[in-house]
Protein backbone atom coordinates (compact mmCIF):
# COMPACT_ATOMS: atom_id res chain seq x y z
CA UNK A 1 0.00 0.00 0.00
CA UNK A 2 1.29 3.46 -0.74
CA UNK A 3 0.78 6.56 1.38
CA UNK A 4 -2.13 7.78 -0.73
CA UNK A 5 -3.99 4.49 -0.35
CA UNK A 6 -3.43 4.54 3.39
CA UNK A 7 -4.65 8.12 3.62
CA UNK A 8 -7.75 7.24 1.63
CA UNK A 9 -8.48 4.29 3.86
CA UNK A 10 -8.10 6.40 6.99
CA UNK A 11 -10.49 8.98 5.54
CA UNK A 12 -13.07 6.34 4.72
CA UNK A 13 -12.92 4.72 8.10
CA UNK A 14 -13.03 8.09 9.82
CA UNK A 15 -16.32 8.76 8.07
CA UNK A 16 -17.73 5.35 9.01
CA UNK A 17 -19.16 4.28 12.32
CA UNK A 18 -16.27 1.96 13.17
CA UNK A 19 -14.60 2.72 16.45
CA UNK A 20 -11.87 0.16 15.89
CA UNK A 21 -10.31 -1.12 12.67
CA UNK A 22 -7.34 -3.36 12.02
CA UNK A 23 -5.94 -4.80 8.81
CA UNK A 24 -2.83 -6.50 7.53
CA UNK A 25 -1.76 -6.37 3.91
CA UNK A 26 1.61 -7.17 2.31
CA UNK A 27 3.43 -6.80 5.58
CA UNK A 28 1.78 -3.49 6.46
CA UNK A 29 -0.43 -3.40 9.51
CA UNK A 30 -2.96 -0.60 9.88
CA UNK A 31 -4.77 -0.10 13.16
CA UNK A 32 -7.29 2.69 13.77
CA UNK A 33 -8.67 3.09 17.25
CA UNK A 34 -10.93 5.91 18.40
CA UNK A 35 -12.50 4.26 21.41
CA UNK A 36 -12.35 6.91 24.13
CA UNK A 37 -10.67 4.62 26.68
CA UNK A 38 -9.57 1.77 24.51
CA UNK A 39 -12.55 -0.40 25.39
CA UNK A 40 -14.99 -1.55 22.78
CA UNK A 41 -18.29 0.31 22.85
CA UNK A 42 -21.58 -0.39 21.21
CA UNK A 43 -22.23 1.69 18.15
CA UNK A 44 -25.15 4.11 18.14
CA UNK A 45 -28.37 3.33 16.34
CA UNK A 46 -28.37 3.44 12.57
CA UNK A 47 -28.75 6.96 11.27
CA UNK A 48 -26.58 8.51 13.97
CA UNK A 49 -24.09 10.71 12.18
CA UNK A 50 -20.56 9.33 12.39
CA UNK A 51 -18.22 11.48 14.40
CA UNK A 52 -16.02 13.52 12.10
CA UNK A 53 -12.33 12.77 12.35
CA UNK A 54 -11.48 16.18 13.75
CA UNK A 55 -13.90 15.74 16.63
CA UNK A 56 -12.58 12.37 17.67
CA UNK A 57 -9.01 13.41 18.22
CA UNK A 58 -5.94 12.06 16.48
CA UNK A 59 -6.30 8.56 15.12
CA UNK A 60 -3.31 6.44 16.13
CA UNK A 61 -1.96 4.50 13.20
CA UNK A 62 0.52 1.78 14.10
CA UNK A 63 2.78 0.74 12.67
CA UNK A 64 3.04 3.06 9.72
CA UNK A 65 5.20 2.33 6.71
CA UNK A 66 8.50 4.15 6.75
CA UNK A 67 7.56 6.79 4.20
CA UNK A 68 4.47 7.75 6.22
CA UNK A 69 6.46 8.25 9.37
CA UNK A 70 9.01 10.38 7.60
CA UNK A 71 6.42 12.52 5.87
CA UNK A 72 6.54 15.91 7.61
CA UNK A 73 3.25 16.98 9.16
CA UNK A 74 1.54 19.30 6.73
CA UNK A 75 -0.77 22.20 7.54
CA UNK A 76 -3.74 21.66 5.27
CA UNK A 77 -6.51 24.21 4.92
CA UNK A 78 -10.01 22.86 5.53
CA UNK A 79 -13.23 23.97 3.86
CA UNK A 80 -16.25 23.15 6.00
CA UNK A 81 -19.95 23.04 5.23
CA UNK A 82 -21.83 26.11 6.48
CA UNK A 83 -25.14 24.20 6.55
CA UNK A 84 -26.70 20.76 6.82
CA UNK A 85 -27.59 19.61 3.32
CA UNK A 86 -26.73 17.59 0.25
CA UNK A 87 -23.24 17.89 -1.25
CA UNK A 88 -22.95 18.36 -5.01
CA UNK A 89 -19.68 18.47 -6.91
CA UNK A 90 -21.15 19.99 -10.09
CA UNK A 91 -23.64 22.80 -10.81
CA UNK A 92 -26.07 20.39 -12.49
CA UNK A 93 -26.16 16.59 -12.62
CA UNK A 94 -24.80 16.54 -16.19
CA UNK A 95 -22.20 19.28 -15.80
CA UNK A 96 -18.47 18.93 -15.17
CA UNK A 97 -17.37 18.86 -11.56
CA UNK A 98 -16.23 22.19 -10.09
CA UNK A 99 -12.89 20.76 -8.92
CA UNK A 100 -10.89 17.54 -8.81
CA UNK A 101 -8.18 16.33 -6.46
CA UNK A 102 -5.06 18.13 -7.62
CA UNK A 103 -6.96 21.12 -9.06
CA UNK A 104 -5.21 24.45 -8.59
CA UNK A 105 -7.70 26.83 -6.98
CA UNK A 106 -7.94 30.58 -6.69
CA UNK A 107 -9.59 32.29 -3.74
CA UNK A 108 -13.24 32.98 -4.63
CA UNK A 109 -13.51 29.98 -6.93
CA UNK A 110 -16.55 27.74 -6.42
CA UNK A 111 -15.73 24.31 -4.97
CA UNK A 112 -19.15 22.70 -4.58
CA UNK A 113 -22.82 23.25 -3.82
CA UNK A 114 -24.49 22.27 -0.55
CA UNK A 115 -28.25 22.23 -1.00
CA UNK A 116 -30.99 22.36 1.59
CA UNK A 117 -34.58 23.59 1.34
CA UNK A 118 -34.06 24.67 -2.28
CA UNK A 119 -31.18 26.90 -1.25
CA UNK A 120 -28.33 26.12 -3.60
CA UNK A 121 -25.36 27.22 -1.52
CA UNK A 122 -22.21 27.60 -3.63
CA UNK A 123 -19.18 27.26 -1.40
CA UNK A 124 -16.28 29.41 -2.48
CA UNK A 125 -12.66 28.81 -1.65
CA UNK A 126 -11.11 31.36 0.70
CA UNK A 127 -7.45 30.73 -0.16
CA UNK A 128 -5.32 30.05 -3.22
CA UNK A 129 -4.04 26.51 -3.29
CA UNK A 130 -4.35 22.95 -4.49
CA UNK A 131 -7.09 20.43 -3.65
CA UNK A 132 -5.56 17.55 -1.69
CA UNK A 133 -8.69 15.74 -0.53
CA UNK A 134 -12.37 15.71 -1.44
CA UNK A 135 -13.92 14.02 1.54
CA UNK A 136 -17.57 13.66 0.51
CA UNK A 137 -19.04 11.79 -2.43
CA UNK A 138 -21.42 13.56 -4.78
CA UNK A 139 -25.03 13.53 -3.59
CA UNK A 140 -24.20 12.60 0.01
CA UNK A 141 -25.60 14.37 3.08
CA UNK A 142 -23.26 16.63 5.06
CA UNK A 143 -23.48 18.01 8.55
CA UNK A 144 -22.95 21.59 9.69
CA UNK A 145 -19.21 22.16 10.07
CA UNK A 146 -18.24 18.91 8.36
CA UNK A 147 -14.96 19.12 6.44
CA UNK A 148 -15.62 18.95 2.69
CA UNK A 149 -12.19 19.66 1.21
CA UNK A 150 -8.58 19.85 2.31
CA UNK A 151 -6.29 22.19 0.41
CA UNK A 152 -2.59 22.82 0.35
CA UNK A 153 -2.39 26.62 0.42
CA UNK A 154 -0.03 28.23 -2.09
CA UNK A 155 3.22 29.48 -0.63
CA UNK A 156 2.92 33.21 0.03
Among 80, 97, 130, 133, binds another protein (CB under 8 A): 80
| Smallest distance from another protein to CB 31, Å | 29
Q: Residue 76 interacts with another protein (CB under 8 A)?
A: no
Count of residues near another protein by CB under 8 A: 26
Nearest alpha-carbon partner for 90 in 107, 108, 115 = 115
Q: Are 130 and 117 in contact (CB under 8 A)?
A: no
Residue 50 phi, psi (nearest 5):
-65, 145
Find the binder of another protein among 26, 70, 74, 94 (CB under 8 A).
94
**SS3 letters across 28-68:** EEEEEECCCCCCCCCCCCCCCCCCCHHHHCCCCECCCCHHH
In angstroms, what is the minimal distance from the CB of 49 to another protein? 8
Subset of 113-152 contacting another protein (CB under 8 A) = 115-126, 141
From the list 16, 110, 138, 154, which residue makes contact with another protein (rule: CB under 8 A)?
A: 110
Q: How far apart are CA 108 and CA 19, in angstroms?
A: 37
List residues binding another protein (CB under 8 A). 46-47, 80, 82-86, 92-94, 108, 110, 115-126, 141
Amino acid sequence: MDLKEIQEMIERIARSEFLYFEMEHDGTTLKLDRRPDGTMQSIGPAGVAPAPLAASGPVPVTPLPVQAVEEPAEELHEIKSPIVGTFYRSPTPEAEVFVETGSKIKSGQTLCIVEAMKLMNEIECDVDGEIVDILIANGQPVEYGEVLFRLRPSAV
